[in-house]
Structure 1
Amino acid sequence: MISGENKGFHTIEQIAKEKNSPVLTPQNSVELCFENGKNYAVVHNKKYAFNL
């Protein structure tokens, strides 16, 4: 579960605000993945890198 205590949460929250979508709703799922040594949030099939 994503919590506000995670350092990466702020990045995910900013992405959602830019896309004018609330975080973690059925219409807007956020998937976290780790690839090539980087953390990514996947929102609407677009990857956004962030640090944990």
Structure 2
Amino acid sequence: MEQLTKKADELTIDELDAASGGALYQPLIVVAIATAVAIRAGIESLVHKITR
């Protein structure tokens, strides 16, 4: 029934991921790593200021 109500130009997230070869999640991973590095640098800077 779901197949009948879906428009021709709509893809599910699984179909889109399969069509892109898994490249759908790569930007998300890059942003997550950059965020983690920024948070770590901020914490290290704060700890450095406190200990000096």
Q: Same fold (TM over 0.5)?
A: no
Which protein has the bigger helix share? 2
Which protein has greater RCO, CA pairs closer than 8 Å, 6+ apart? 1
